[in-house]
Structure 1
Amino acid sequence: MKWLQIHITVQQAQVDFTETLLNSLGAVSVTLDDAENQDLLEPLPGETPLWNKVIVTGIYAQEDDETIDVDALITFITLQLPAAPLTHEFIEDQEWERTWMDAYEPIQISDKYWIVPEWMQAPDADAVNIKLDPGLAFGTGNHASTFLCLQWLGNTDVKDKVVIDYGCGSGILGVAALLLGAKKVYATDIDPQAVLATQQNAELNGVLDKLYVGLPEDFNLALADQKADVFVANILAGPLMMLAPEFATLIKSEGEFALAGILDEQVADVSNVYSDFFDILQVEKRDEHWCRISGKRLNTPFKL
């Protein structure tokens, strides 16, 4: 069996109509892709952010004994969306699950430190290998901000330390810290799916017994008065600035921290807010505009 793929490039406001149109015409699936290489930041729960310009792709089954009238289908779609560029192609039947899996490769963070999709063989069996299901939640190591945090953890002494992963997503940072020798990781996220993903990835790597993960209110109860030796937060600049005083209460004096999810033009503002509580020691950049800020907690009193 062959499959017909129809790709339509539309503005964000036209996505719902286009998706509904393709479904009503018998598409077996409809997918959305970025048309202009535009970055999307990690969404909050309940949010579904879209790119400004989107490629909407409908897939139609082309049975051997039931041929789709491609010309009529495309003509009808064009009448509904006359200004939208449209292309189509036929693709051969294939193992779609295998195709999705083939899109992922092991990612090398440093010489003896890798992220490995769970179905693949580790390139270096003697390295620290983080097994990961990339489909669970935000944080696969492919994004620059996640890579920067993983890189920082690999260069930080976490052995026998208490680590906090704030905004844990897939749990990749907390799992990495445990595989690198951390004594205990406390992780939290506002998304229940991220909590589940973190649990699953910790179990996959055999470190679930050393990890606590929960929603913020549960996390605060579990943490109690304990403070972190090492703290990492890969979220967004706005929440990072808002949470700076709270983060200061979670980290020991002289405790080490790293913040990511920060764009180049946001570094000065974030650093200015954190300078009240933290000594900013380093700013590292990756992929032109994503940055990581790291340093140590100051030994100074403060009030929330």
Structure 2
Amino acid sequence: MSSRWLEVSVEADLESADAVAELFARFGYQQGVAVFHPVKQAPDGEHAALDPATPVRVTTYLPLDEHVDATVESLRQALWHLSFLGSIGELQLRTLAEEDWAEAWKQHFPVTRIGHRLVIRPSWLSYTPQADDVVIDLDPGMAFGTGLHPTTQHCLIWIERIIRPGDVVLDAGAGSGILSIAALKLGAASVTAIELDPVASDVLRANLTQNGVLERATVRVGDVTRDLHEREAYDLVLANIVARVLIHAAPRLVRAARPGASIVLSGIIASAEDEVRARYRKLGAEVVERRQDGDWVSLLLSRTRP
């Protein structure tokens, strides 16, 4: 794990921002991307809306290792090609120590309400909950998944709607643990959270502990394309990763879902949706609902047959 990081940022027009975010997700650590949408408000603070005249800022982070120069050059070339389709500024680079890296992310994460009841509260901000709120206290640390990215929001909206008291849940590629925490706070009996990165798994455990749900969670460091066992069976399977991994892990993720169980797949770039759908349909999981925000697609499936 690098002790120094490279912050990579670029400003783009609203129409180009999704394409830049998808590009940054391919190269950024843990596919983490922060997108800052400029907002304009009335003088009284009401009627907030996106300001299409102001550029969107897209940021990711790269470990400063032997691959970083090649990665930056690949990003420059890809951004040059994207610039023919929209307005994209110059790539901006800033070196950070690890402790500064953690602090840098904080500027991107406000308190966020998702769905009817869920509220994501970064651990460094205060919030007074309303009567029916389910508050998730979150510190992303070295992991990603704050609730701001559309793919995470899609998952949370579905979890709030379909979770049933006593459900046994799999969170494949758990990251910061935001989906695991939401499922447990909304009534799941237990969650198995699998995370490939051991550093992220430490953040995951810390977030589960901070939210008082660690005793109902099992955290495993593992690869969801290999480390799901035949005996595992869940009422709800969550996988917010990337399309390539979702396709590769499909046999294990479908097998892990009990007949009739729901499977939530997210992190899918629109151009890969058909391939993901076809792969899961062949394995006996049919799409029952989809959500799309820009180029990002999420699918809610049901395991219809063994």
Partner of 2:125: 120
Question: How far did residue 97 of structure 1 move?
Answer: 9.3
Partner of 2:25: 41
| SS of 2:206 mapped into structure 1 | helix
Partner of 2:299: 293
Counterpart of 2:279, as a letter, is V
Partner of 1:282: 289
Partner of 2:49: none
Partner of 1:181: 187
Q: How far apart, in 1, do the equivalents of 2:227 and 2:280 lie?
A: 25
1:146-185 correspondence runs (5 A): 146-185=152-191
Assess, with a 3 A threshold, how the Cα gap between structure 1 residues 103 and 265 changes in structure 2: closer, same or farther.
closer
Question: How far did residue 247 of structure 1 move?
Answer: 1.0
Partner of 1:68: none
Aligned match for 1:251, one of 250, 257, 264: 257
Assess, with a 3 A threshold, how the Cα gap between structure 1 residues 98 and 174 changes in structure 2: closer, same or farther.
closer
Q: How far apart, in 1, do the equivalents of 2:164 and 2:258 lie?
A: 14
Question: How far did residue 148 of structure 1 move?
Answer: 1.1
| SS of 1:275 mapped into structure 2 | helix
Partner of 2:37: none
Q: How far apart, in 2, do the equivalents of 1:241 and 1:58 lie?
A: 35
Q: TM-score, normalised by structure 1?
A: 0.69
Assess, with a 3 A threshold, how the Cα gap between structure 1 residues 222 and 236 changes in structure 2: closer, same or farther.
closer
Q: Alpha carbon RMSD of aligned pairs, Å?
A: 3.2
Contact 1:122 1:129 in 2 (8 A): no
Question: Which structure 1 residue ranges, 4+ long, deviate > 3 Å from structure 2?
Answer: 29-32, 42-51, 96-103, 217-224
Partner of 1:4: none
Q: Which moved more, 1:106-115 or 1:46-55?
A: 46-55
Contact 2:195 2:223 in 1 (8 A): no
The unaligned stretches of length 5 or more in structure 2 are 32-62, 80-90
Counterpart of 1:175, as a letter, is I
Tell me if 1:55 matches 2:92. yes
- The total of aligned residue pairs comes to 237
Q: How far apart, in 2, do the equivalents of 1:58 and 1:100 lie?
A: 14
The unaligned stretches of length 5 or more in structure 1 are 1-28, 60-95
Question: How far did residue 120 of structure 1 move?
Answer: 2.1
Counterpart of 1:55, as a letter, is Q
Contact 2:151 2:266 in 1 (8 A): yes
Q: How far apart, in 1, do the equivalents of 2:159 and 2:112 lie?
A: 15
Larger Rg: 1
Question: How far did residue 267 of structure 1 move?
Answer: 1.0
Q: How far apart, in 1, do the equivalents of 2:95 and 2:230 lie?
A: 50
Counterpart of 1:111, as a letter, is H
Counterpart of 2:25, as a letter, is L
Q: How far apart, in 2, do the equivalents of 1:241 and 1:98 lie?
A: 34
Contact 1:112 1:124 in 2 (8 A): no
1:223-262 correspondence runs (5 A): 225-262=231-268
Q: How far apart, in 2, do the equivalents of 1:99 and 1:247 lie?
A: 34
| SS of 2:143 mapped into structure 1 | coil
| SS of 2:25 mapped into structure 1 | coil
